[in-house]
Amino acid sequence: MSSTQFDGDIDSFVSYLKSNRGLSANTLKAYRADLAACLHLFELRGVTDLNEITLDDLRSWMAMESRDHARSSMARKTVAVRGFFAWAYEHGLTTTDPAATLMTPSIPSTLPAVLTESQAEQLLDVAEHAVATNQYKDDGGAAAAPGSGKAAGKTADKSADTVNRNEAPARADKRDNARVTAESQRNAAILELLYATGIRVAELVSMDIADIDFSNRTIKVTGKGNKQRVVPFGLPAQRALETWLEQGRPVLARTATDAVKSRAANALFLGARGGRIDQRIARDIVHRAAREAGVPDISPHALRHSAATHMLDGGADLREVQEMLGHSSLKTTQRYTHVSIEQLKNRYGQAFPRA
């Protein structure tokens, strides 16, 4: 991110948003980067005072940025710039607000991609099968005693050497099997929880063990703007979580260094090195699981869409789904009703003789 002479103003604006708007850290980071890039461009054009920037300048900036960014990104950038200049005008940094009439690019309304209920079931079944398969391998490795069988019939002096040479690889194989099993248990728990609750991937990776209430089968979720909500989950997700916490998590926790272990002590999900899992790994888990299950390639957000759509198909109230997903606006949740209607139309076309 380029440094500009306007960095102090940008920092003040971001601090204002953080205090008064309750925006998420990711949104604030994106706004900061958008403003820095915009004002850096004007600085390169010789602008030394915010009052020198006009509406035409801002339209010129939008035209240039539009070449390399999607409409959704441009909409966010425009909101950031418009908000910044409104704040600057209100706080006396500028004598006018040049962005007051700057138009936000319209974003085409697209229906979210979702799995069918049978595809979602297939995805979770394959993940569950992977856990069972890896546990079988792990048990088999544990049952094989190093140095047994033919080695027992050798002379005493060679026997000790044989056992010592064989024990290290056997222990390494057992550790590898245990790690693979632990990761498959974690992956199954992640998939079950994402589908059962419809939470965002950022919410998933930030969860702590204490956020789970097994007695009520609910989780406490911290969403955008640090808003908290309580979301229920079902029995399959409970089983997957219990297996992960009791069997898999301790295995991955042992691989962490002391520094990493202390930082991730409360984390619900861990990565291969024992630290808190990050969003990239969680996304990879979902994409890989979709490939292995032979269902359409989906992201964690598409799994969230699927959960919402299947709830509505099952008769859930729109307000209930809004609460579960953490949407501030019912309009956002209403998109899923359109998906349900589209699926209904498709089933109607397939099943009704006079469709």
Which residues are tagged catalytic?
A: 200, 224, 301, 304, 327, 336
DSSP output for 262-293: HHTTTBSSB-TTSSBP-HHHHHHHHHHHHHHH
CB atoms within 10 A of CB 180: 17
Residue 13, SS3 per DSSP: helix
Q: Where are the beta strands (DSSP E) in the chain?
A: 212-213, 218-222, 228-232
Q: Which residues, in sequence order, are CB contacts of 328 under 8 Å at separation 6+? A: 224
Token pair of 72 as six digits? 């959704």
Q: How far apart are CA 168 and CA 152, in angstroms?
A: 18
The 3-state secondary structure of the chain, one letter per residue: CCCCCCHHHHHHHHHHHHHHCCCCHHHHHHHHHHHHHHHHHHHHCCCCCHHHCCHHHHHHHHHHHCCCCCHHHHHHHHHHHHHHHHHHHHCCCCCCCCCCCCCCCCCCCCCCCCCCHHHHHHHHHHHHHHHHHHHHHHHHHHHCCCCCHHHHHCCHHHHHHHHHHHHHHHHHHHHHHHHHHHHHHHHHHHHHHHHHHCCCHHHHHCCEHHHEECCCCEEEEECHHHCEEEEECCHHHHHHHHHHHHHHHHHHHCCCCHHHHHHCCCECCECCCCCECCHHHHHHHHHHHHHHHCCCCCCHHHHHHHHHHHHHHCCCCHHHHHHHHCCCCHHHHHHHHHHHHHHHHHHHHHHCCCC
